[in-house]
Amino acid sequence: MEYVNIELEHYNHKVGINFWHLTWQTKYRYKMFAKFEYKNLAEACIRKAAFRHSIKIHIIKVMPDHLHTLVTLPKGMTDEDAMHLLKGGYVIQLFQKPSQSSPQIPSRTSLEQRRFCCDSWLQPT
């Protein structure tokens, strides 16, 4: 079990932090991330997309056919926007530089399902 170092955010009328548990899966539950190198490549691409959009990743777990992340979103960003940015950003990076280490997927549209799951927890003080 992993533990998260919590640094509370200070706003005008509240102090706390908002965690989002985001999960998504590959299309048809294709076990794309079964190989260690593909798992690491996907994790690196997701972290890069999150950094680019100021999304703070606390925990990320890449399973063979799906992903779990525990994130904190920047102020004003919705969960749907975050999922579009993360999913789109990492798929584009996977297909941007095809190499022997890139997963062999027929097309970009066959990588991810359109649906996803978001849950939120607010940690008040």
Per residue in 74-91, pLDDT (tens digit) is 888 888 899 888 888 877
Domain ranges of the chain: 31-101+115-125
- How confident is the model at residue 17, as a pLDDT? 77
DSSP state, residue 72: E
- How confident is the model at residue 80, as a pLDDT? 86
Residue pair 115/27 in contact by the 8 Å Cβ criterion: no
The sign of the torsion formed by the CA atoms of 76, 50, 46, 66 equals: negative
DSSP state, residue 108: G
